[in-house]
Structure 1
Amino acid sequence: MRALAAREVVVTVSQLESWRRAGLLPQHRRRGLGRGRGSVVDAVDPVVVESAAALARHLRQGRDRRLAVLEWFAEAGTLPVQPGAVPVPEPPIGAARQALVWALERSVSQRLVEFARSAAGTGEEGQDALYALAGRLMGRYRGMANPALVRAAFEAGEDLPAEAEGPDVRSMVHLAAAIGLGAQEVGADALAEAFAALGMFGLTVDDWAQALGAAERGEGPPVDWELLQQRADMVGPVKRASDDELVRARTVLVGLSGFYCLYVMHGLLMPDTPALAALRQRIDEWGMFPVLDHFIAITPSPGQFAAGLAVCLEPLFDNLYEALLEQLVEDPHVFSIPGDETGAVGFGETWMRTVRELANAAQREGRGAGGGPNE
């Protein structure tokens, strides 16, 4: 208690005991005093203190404890912000797994898939109900606009072109319908929209329509819809994963999130160094930016973190992460502008100066377009 109070972390004895009973907080190591004399704590275990501090950061009155465990597990996978800061200890992996499963079972994608499966055999009525539910759950969210086109529009002082907009993710409800109702009930055209919205490999709606149409006619490789059924289950893989696999998936998710942010910041006028361009090129070669955009959030909620971690159990994303790490090792000078000896400091100053200059230019053009007071 004293160690926590010294850090301005306020917890009660009953809270600490509750966390211990739930298996979230280890006991301090104790030394026996002899028969009938009890035991004593010789030294405060810093792991216990840091674990209690992590729980206190993420728990609030009335909040489900599993959300706090998810945030704790996510925080433990990131490096300390301040140099020399004590790393956040890992929560009990069993508690982290239970929290992941709990969150995934309540996710939008899982709810849509389960509803679609329950609607199988109900005809158009069930399909209409599925799409109505998808409209309520998914809202009007669109994917991230293409950063390269966003940057070009900023630099030219023009409006964002329509082709820069990200896909309407509501099209992906067709995949849930195919999983539950059957691909034949959805049709090749709707599924082409869904796969194009997913964004993998950069294929367009027409590309997917041609491929799926050829498969239907027996003119191309058949589509393994059973594989789609397997990939729809995010809960099962998390339950079956080993402890090490869950931690590795978190490492991959955190790493890919960093690379994704660097890609997005290109659209916000961040200086484009050769190292940054090479990282974006690697992602583009894999055709993976739209896919990353679907499951990575810059400030993820616990549910988004759980969904992203489940995705990163797939070997494809582990391989992408390793490829990007390889590129980073090959050229680590991400924040060094060629010819600028000031390194990251000069990088940041250049970025801010570019933003200010464009903002000032936009203001001048706005005044000119609106007319001056003497006109």
Structure 2
Amino acid sequence: MVDVVDPVVVKSAAVLARHLRQGRDRRLAVLEWFAEAGGAVQPGEVRVPEPPLAAVREAVVWVLRGTVSHRLLELARGAAGVGEEAADALYEVAGRLLATRPYRGSADPVLVRAALEADEDVPDGPDFKEVVHLVAAIGLGAQEVGGDALAEAFGAFALFGLTAEDWAQMLGAVERGESPPVDWGLLQQRADVLGPVQRASDEQLLRARTVLLGLRLFYGLYAMHALFMPDTPALAALRARIDESGMFPVLDHVISLSPSPRHFAEALAVCLEPLFDGLYETLVDQLAADPALFQLPGDEAGAVGFMETWTRALRDQTTRVREQLDES
């Protein structure tokens, strides 16, 4: 008879029980457990033990197999080499799938704030419906899709600050032989979202979680700029680093401040990519160089003064909007 039960086993059972509910797939509970285990530990609290990482890997792959993007990629690969009718059918099915889950990214917080302060209309965020061309290129081949359509697809992400017009010029130069040819095979390789997760070591999964949770923090700080959060040199420096990378639209697409387990799994898979790991390291270095995020210049009250200034700004903005509504 065992008189003593390993405390880790007891803690693990308690965590799993907290996330399991009748009729709920256990894989969703495992993902919530993994996310919780990576969170910050408050003084006096005991860190949540890690779930079995093999179960985490299985859960992430399961989620990815059910995503709209994976279903579209499977359709695109199935349409390859079948003929023009298959390509038309791909676009038709893709249009229906994307219509069921329309997505528009957030507008640049700096532009949103400027518009609100000037009493102008808030700009729209990027529209990702053109990404269907990128999916088609992965399955049918870039030549079948064409440079103009691909330019629209790449431009939707605004990666590195490049617009659809910028991409059209670059891809046009390639088509005319004025620039080196593009290895479109890399596009097919990067489209394999399941393989990297299946091959990821336990250490890589843990690192991806670290990157994801860290980028969520940095994304939140950037996004709050639209809500009149007081600006400080440290916050401005972080935004500048993200702007230099041209990655805010992509972060906006990947990161959620209150993710569901499924969204967490999708973002975790993305954060296995070196591009996101590198951005995270850049921002961590910037934060270490200037950690005074909530210190307004000349205000010795520190974070308290910061929050008081923010609350006052929000109150003033609310009052101004109400006055405008009364006048109208």
2:299 counterpart residue number: 340
Question: How far apart are 1:135 and its partner, in Å?
Answer: 3.0
SS of 2:2's equivalent in the other structure is: strand
Which residue matches 1:91?
Answer: 51
Structure 1 stretch displaced more, 297-306 or 132-141: 132-141
Residue aligning to 1:263: 222
Question: 8 Å contact 1:110–1:233 — kept in the other structure?
Answer: no
Residues of 1 paired with 2:86 and 2:305: CA distance? 59
Deviating beyond 3 angstroms after TM superposition, the runs of 4 or more aligned structure 1 residues are none
Equivalent of residue 142 in structure 1, options 77, 82, 104: 104
Distance 2:97 2:259 in 1: 18
Match of 2:30 among 54, 69, 73: 69
TM-superposition CA deviations, 1:246-297 (whole Å, max 9, x none): 1111111111111011111111111111100000000111111111112111
Between 1:127-136 and 1:317-326, the stretch displaced more is 127-136
The amino acid across from 2:28 in the alignment is L
How much does 1:305 deviate? 1.4
Q: What's the CA shift for 1:121?
A: 2.7
1:112 and 1:322 map into 2 onto residues whose CA distance is: 32
TM-score by length of structure 2 reads 0.95
Whichever of the two has the greater Rg, that structure is 1
Q: Does 1:253 align with 2:212?
A: yes
Q: Deviations over 1:135-157 (max 9, x none)?
A: 33333210111101111122122
1:188 Cα shift?
Answer: 0.7
Partner SS, residue 333 of structure 1: coil
Q: Distance in 2 between matches of 1:105 and 1:98?
A: 11
User: Which of these residues, 335, 341, 349, is aligned with residue 308 of structure 2?
Assistant: 349
Paired with 1:134 and 1:348, the residues of 2 have a C-alpha distance of: 46
For 1:41 and 1:233, locate their aligned partners in 2 and report how far apart those are by CA, in whole Å: 49
* 1:283 counterpart = 2:242: yes
For the residue of structure 1 that corresponds to 2:320, the secondary structure is helix
- The structural deviation recorded for 1:107 is 1.5
Give yes or no for contact 1:70–1:306 (8 Å, CA) kept in 2.
yes
Instruction: Write the deviation string for residues 132-184 of structure 1: whole angstroms up to 9, x where unpaired.
Output: 33333333210111101111122122221xxx322111111111100001111
The Cα shift of 1:123 comes to: 3.3
Q: What is the CA distance between 1:339 and its match in structure 2?
A: 1.6
Q: 1:220 aligns with which of 155, 179, 187?
A: 179
Hey, what's the Cα distance between the residues in 2 that align with 1:341 and 1:133? 59
Aligned partner letter, 2:55: A
Amino acid at match of 1:53: A
Partner of 2:191: 232
CA distance in 2, matches of 1:182, 1:71: 38
Deviation at 1:100, TM superposition (A): 1.0
Match of 1:313 in 2: 272
Which has the higher relative contact order, 1 or 2, with Cα contacts under 8 A spaced 6 or more apart?
2
Match for residue 204 of structure 1 among 140, 157, 163: 163
Aligned residues: CA RMSD: 1.4
Identity across matched positions, percent? 67
Q: Is the 8 A contact 1:157 1:362 kept in 2?
A: no
2:311 matches 1:323: no
Q: Is the aligned partner of 1:57 residue 2:18?
A: yes
**Aligned-partner residue type, residue 63 of structure 2:** A
Q: Which runs of 5+ in 1 are unaligned?
A: 1-38, 370-375
Letter in 1 for 2:109: P
Structure 2 distance, partners of 1:300, 1:127, is 34
Q: When the two structures are superposed, what TM-score results if normalisation uses the length of structure 1?
A: 0.84
The amino acid across from 1:144 in the alignment is: S
Residue type of the partner of 2:270? V
| Deviation of 1:57 (Å) | 2.0
2:129 corresponds in structure 1 to: 170
Counterpart for residue 132 of structure 1: 92
**Structure 1 position 130, deviation (Å):** 2.4
2:276 and 2:28 map into 1 onto residues whose CA distance is 25
Q: Distance in 1 between matches of 2:94 and 2:29?
A: 28
Residue deviations 1:3-50 (CA, integer Å, cap 9, x gap): xxxxxxxxxxxxxxxxxxxxxxxxxxxxxxxxxxxx2222x4332222
Contact kept in structure 2, 1:134 and 1:170, CA below 8 Å: no
- Give the counterpart of 2:63 among 76, 83, 103: 103
Letter in 2 for 1:310: A
User: In 1, distance between residues paired with 2:181 and 2:77?
Assistant: 23
